[in-house]
Structure 1
Amino acid sequence: MIKIRHCKKINLFYLFLIFLSLAVIYLTSIKKAIANMSSSNYELQMPNLNFSSGNVSSDNYKIGFTAGQLSPGKYNSEGFRALVGFWYLKTIIPFSFSISNNVVDFGDLSFGEPQTAATTIVVSAGGAGGYQVTVEENHQLLVPSIGAMILDTTGDEGDISENNAGLWANNTTYGFGYTMYGDDVPSPFPSSGPAGNYYKQFADISKGEIPQIIMSSDKVGVNRTATLTYKVNISPMQAAGRYHNVITYIATPTY
């Protein structure tokens, strides 16, 4: 049995800084324009004291603008990014991420008879830098009480790893791994099904392996969809027991 976790993380907040000079500025009239201040973990789109700002529109266009910002530009430091004096890109597509199932149960396994199951991943991302999805396992398929494992497969030619895809077609090749197809998946996986016989291992974080990217794009997108297929095959020497691990998917937008 595989338990699946998924989460999405936002690694960037919009921070807008106003730099004021040391000189005393006397203003006879200041027009404030404050827009799009929302909450629940927090997005600020343009609170400012510039010469002018706001949203203008007609039947043919919509524009959000600021004017008069001192020291405009993009500023970076550890833990934040500031886009001063302009909207870097207004996000009109909310970030969302879903998977089709939280538990995968292969049932009873027989040696030399591979079993498969699938999870469908759907991502929408409107950030300027797109998104990525990574996957990892907490350990290989394991019976904790006796320490028995179904090892991650190395494939028919012994070249499959978490970093490298290889062929796995023989029923005398044992282990656990995955293949996939769909939008924004890495090579050599195809953009449309069927997935074929190229497989990879899940990155095992108990061994210090780095989570691997399974979907990524530097463009905005809606309902980007991929299907990941798990495969397990056991040898005649495999100990009986209830094997399980946890597969974690993490989706991250980039702004």
Structure 2
Amino acid sequence: MTNTHERLQKVIAQSGVTSRRKAEQLILDGKVKVNHKVVTTLGTKVKPDDTIEVDGVPLEKEAPVYYLLYKPRGVITSLKDDKGRKVITDLLGEVEERVFPVGRLDYDTSGILVITNDGEFANLLMHPRYQVDKEYVAKIKGIPEKAELAQLRKGVRSEQDILKAVHYRILETDKKKNHTILQLTLREGKNRHVRRMMEALGYPVLKLKREKYGLLTLDGLRPGEYRPLTPKEVKQMRQLAERNC
């Protein structure tokens, strides 16, 4: 904590317990105490010497850590799974801090995943208004016409959402095997965004990989491997998000 009053949800997020959004929900659910009293008001400010408990556990601030994980297919973007499936923490054997993923990649999607215990950093990268680009490569069934792909930039309706890509490019078409490989750039990250968007156009995704997140790439990593972000990379990602807001 700093020497000034800070918002409670910000302090919780900075402690590494969870992201800021989830910290807000914990407060609303009555699971947070300040100086042994339950607090349910968002925006409550706390001092450095205040005692904070989350789910009955006293808050202890960890030093912030930042990792880049190459998530393989067949791994859940979660810290635990009641079905016994492999989760991302199974891949982070030497990480001792209480970390969590920045955003999600679904079970069958591989690629870049940022892992941290810094809730403010996570919120900065995830919030749509900060517009951090995420680049995917998708193998889709079928060969769409250019006019159909043009809908990606205008927006495709799926359920209650309008799903968009800010940029797309055809990397390969194979008429014999009836598939197309697309490069897609998103700024939002709604649930199963790419898969739902392409399904709505009638071209289901056969394989999906996130290859770039802002300035970060998978260079030097194999599926299942991870590395710490450099201080320069963390600074650059912050600057990228703040410049776009």
Q: Same fold (TM over 0.5)?
A: no
TM-score bracket relative to the smaller structure: under 0.3
Which has more strand, going by share of residues? 1
When Rg is computed on C-alpha atoms for both structures, the one with the higher figure is 1
- Flag the structure with more relative contact order, 1 or 2, with Cα contacts below 8 A and sequence separation at least 6: 1
Which has more helix, going by share of residues? 2
